[in-house]
Each structure stands twice: as structure tokens, then as C-alpha cells.
Amino acid sequence: MIELENVGLAYGNGPDILQNVYLHIGRGDLRFLTGASGSGKSTLLRLLFLALQPHQGMARVLGKDVASHTPQSRARLRRKLGVVFQDFRLLDHLTIFENVELPLRAAGGEPGKHTNDVNDLLDWVGLKERARDFPNTLSGGEKQRVAIARAVVTKPELILADEPTGNVDPAMAKRLLRLFLELNRLGTTVLFATHDKHLIERSGGQVIHLMPGGRLSQ
């Protein structure tokens, strides 16, 4: 699912954010990505989401070299990914329901065809009664839950989650972790960036530690 070989990445002429990174994540794996703030966790996830390209080494996601993509093939591959961003990236002019449904619509789904699926997922993250509200009426934790629902609504092959429980209380963090674990149990590969050691201990997943200078320790 993910193969990185001697990958290095920097912004412009600045120092390397990632350097000499080797990482192999197989189909159905569950991995937790940890590391201090500024160590490059978000940069690594952006690389895997095809938003960045390495200046050194080889990076493959779902069997395809990230440097070989056209804009069209990049868009097709992203439909197989579920991404939870730290900054939510919700569309303020769409309702909560419409934000979660958006990936299904982008993949060619008909309006209203997936109403039950979207409502069930909103119920799981505790926001079914807010389905017709707009993002600007939600707290940060509620927006994070909407972002998680949107990321998993298509049942993607690979989920990249950037601190997905960072803005919710411990009880909701446990509930959301159970959702990721259930998706993983059903075959979805999950890479979950977090500082929360308690969540990692509950999951049984393997830990990848990103050290200062962008090197990985597994």
C-alpha cells in the first residue's frame, strides 16, 4: 500500500523535512505515526496524499509512483484514499450532510442515493441531529468529527489521519478510535498520526516514530 525508499523532502531551498525515509506498509496494516511537533508528520502524510513529491528517493502509494501521476490519475487515486486533515477543510456553504456526502458525489454517486449511509455515519460520530446545520455553527471538535465521517464515507482502501482525535474529549476519542479499528478489521489500511499514547496502547497497532530531522524509527 505504501513504499518509501530513501525518501527526502524539503520546502524550496530550506533544510530537509524528511530525509532517508524507508517505510513499508502492507494491505490491511494499522500503523500509528508519532513524533514531536515539527518532526514532519503532516509533511509525510501530505506526501502520501500526493500533495507533495520527494526530491530524493522513490515513493509509491497503492502501487503507483507518486512522481509519475498526471493530474487526472492523481485525482483518480485520491478517490481510493480517505484523509483527515488537522484543519478540517470543510466547505462552509454546504451542510454537514452535504460535506460528508461530497466524496460520494465526486465519485459519480447520484444525489440522495447514499442518504442512509451518510446518516448512519453521522450517527456514529454523534452528529446525526446536526446534519442540516452548517460548519460555522460547530465547535472545533464537532468539525473534526465531520471531517472523519467524510474521510471514511467511501470505505477507502487507505486512510491517512492527521491527529484525528486531537480536538475531541477522551470519551469521543475512544469512540472514534473504535471506528478506525473496525474499518481496519474489515480490510482498510490505516496510518494514524497521533500524540495520544493511551489510544495507541488500546489499539495494539504498530508504532512508527518520526525523529528530529525526519528519520523514521519502527
Give 51-64 pLDDT, tens digit per residue. 888 989 999 999 88
Q: What percent of the chain has pLDDT over 90?
A: 38
pLDDT band at 37 (very low <50, low <70, confident <90, very high): confident
What's the CATH code of the domain at 87?
3.40.50.300
Q: What is the mean pLDDT of residues 106-115?
A: 75
Question: Looking at residue 31, what is its pLDDT?
Answer: 93
Would the pLDDT of 109 be above 70?
no
Rounded to two decimals, the pTM is: 0.86
Assess whether pLDDT exceeds 90 at residue 73: no
Q: Exposed, middle or buried by CB within 10 Å (0-12, 13-18, 19+), for 81?
A: buried
Structure confidence at residue 214 as a pLDDT band (50, 70, 90):
low
Q: What is the DSSP letter of 67?
A: G
3-state secondary structure 183-207: HHHCCCEEEEECCCHHHHHHHCCEE
Confidence at residue 119, expressed as pLDDT on a 0 to 100 scale? 94
Task: Specify the range with the lowest mean pLDDT, choosing from 76-80, 152-156, 199-203, 210-214.
Answer: 210-214
Question: 78 is in which domain, residue-wise?
Answer: 2-217
Cα–Cα distance for residue pair 137/134, rounded to 1 Å: 6
Q: What is the pLDDT of residue 5?
A: 93
90 HSE (CA, 13 A, CB side): 29
What DSSP line would sit under 129-193, residue for residue?
Answer: GGTTS-GGGS-HHHHHHHHHHHHHTT--SEEEEESTTTTS-HHHHHHHHHHHHHHHHTT-EEEEE
Rounded mean pLDDT, 142-164: 90
Q: What is the pLDDT of residue 215?
A: 67
Q: How many domains, in total, are found in the chain?
A: 1
Q: For 27, how many CA atoms within 13 A lie in the half-sphere containing its CB? A: 6
Q: State yes or no: pLDDT of 123 exceeds 70.
A: yes
Please report the pLDDT score of residue 36 as a whole number: 79
pLDDT at 2: 94
Cβ contact 135:99 at 8 Å: yes
